[in-house]
Amino acid sequence: IGLKRMGMKKLENKVIVITGAAMGLGLAAAQEAAKQGAQLSLVDYNEKALGEAKQAVLQEYPDAKVITVTADVSKEEEVRKYVDETVKAFNRIDGFYNNAGIEGKQALMTEYDVAVFRKVIDINLMGVFYGMRYIIPIMQKQQYGRIVNVASVGGIRGVLNQTPYVASKHAVSGMTKNAALEFGRYGVITNAIAPGAILTPMVAEAFRQVNPDDPKAAETEYAKANPTKRLGLPEEVAKVVIFLLSEDASYVNGQTIAIDGGESNTY
Ligand code: NAD
């Protein structure tokens, strides 16, 4: 029994929707979910990268069932499209990794470009809301569901020069609490993660903005403040996400879980 248990996959036959799946945290979670037996609906607005992501998953896990839907999560009708196409393909949605997000530009609040501010809110806040708005009713009917929203340590504290990002990520944490209290009674469990600096294309771009001449120096400087003295890896986030998307996460609800090497304890 012990060996059999060890071999059990954590998401066997579960249908999992992942937004922002083309790269970074979304792609790492797609790989780990496929490894754990999930059937995947991968969503992104970067069609080309999304196609490549699907191929990358199938290359490692040829038996995985994977569909892709090109959609912009900040557009309500495109969110309905990815939800409808997923249900058409798989008949249910067991898990939702509500991950797509952008950072915006770095600037003080008083100099922040208003159009960029709105764009960050449209994607990070409205996109996360639309996803829950249309997926929770399906989970409610099933009397089962797991939602993992992606906040950030910027959803727990302030981050210099990133007002809309911080505003949107605090909102993600707040909406997570509300979904948890409104739908927990239907077996729909909702949590958020708050990654620290994880080495993805998004963070690489942030280091380029901080130090255009030597982004690696910016990264090294940043890592000094972390108890582990390093940045996190997408795979390390994916392992926590898989737990929160699994049946095992049945009594953790409405939490925002920091995945940051302990850095939030040093603030
Ligand atoms: P990334 O830029 O590497 O990947 C994000 C993916 O989301 C891309 O494939 C992009 O095309 C897609 N995307 C962006 N806007 C979209 C939209 N409107 N519709 C559909 N797809 C869209 O970023 P990442 O680092 O993997 O970040 C993923 C999530 O994690 C984001 O919500 C981000 O805020 C959050 N986060 C990341 C870190 C980190 O250190 N990398 C830390 C905290 C939080």
Residue 33: Cβ-neighbour burial (10 angstroms; 0-12, 13-18, 19+) = buried
- Tokens describing residue 125: 């806040």
Asked if residue 157 lies in contact with residue 170, where contact means CB atoms within 8 angstroms, the answer is: no
Q: What is the CATH number of domain 2-196+233-259?
A: 3.40.50.720
Asked if residue 43 lies in contact with residue 53, where contact means CB atoms within 8 angstroms, the answer is: no
pLDDT over 90 (residue 5): no
Asked if residue 93 lies in contact with residue 83, where contact means CB atoms within 8 angstroms, the answer is: yes
Calculate how far, in angstroms, residue 232's C-alpha sits from the geometric centre of ligand 1.
15
Q: Return the ligand 1 atom nearest residue 73 CA.
A: 19
- Tokens describing residue 267: 């603030």
Indicate which residue's Cα is closest to atom 7 of ligand 1: 20
Calculate how far, in angstroms, residue 34's C-alpha sits from the geometric centre of ligand 1.
20
- What is the pLDDT averaged over residues 139-160? 98
Mutation test residue for ligand 1: of 31, 102, 125, 260, the one with most atoms within 8 Å of CB: 102
pLDDT digits (tens, 9 = 90+) for 21-33: 999 999 999 999 9
Q: Domain coordinates of the chain in residue numbers?
A: 2-196+233-259, 197-231
Asked if residue 97 lies in contact with residue 19, where contact means CB atoms within 8 angstroms, the answer is: yes
Ligand 1: which residues within 6 Å by Cβ? 19-20, 22-26, 44-46, 49, 72-74, 99-102, 123, 127, 150, 152, 195, 197-198, 200-203
- Listed residue (63, 58, 82, 83) closest to 9, CA to CA: 63
- The whole-angstrom separation of Cα 236 and Cα 242 is 10
User: What ipTM was reported for this prediction?
Assistant: 0.99
Q: Which of 61, 82, 97, 165 is catalytic?
A: 165
- What is the pLDDT averaged over residues 14-18? 99
Average pLDDT score, the chain: 96
Mutation test residue for ligand 1: of 81, 149, 159, 200, the one with most atoms within 8 Å of CB: 200
Indicate which residue's Cα is closest to atom 23 of ligand 1: 202
To the query of whether residue 186 is one of the catalytic residues in this protein, the response is no
Q: How far apart are the first and last CA of the chain?
A: 45
Indicate which residue's Cα is closest to atom 2 of ligand 1: 202
pLDDT over 90 (residue 231): yes
pLDDT digits (tens, 9 = 90+) for 44-96: 999 999 999 999 999 999 999 999 999 999 999 999 999 999 999 999 999 99
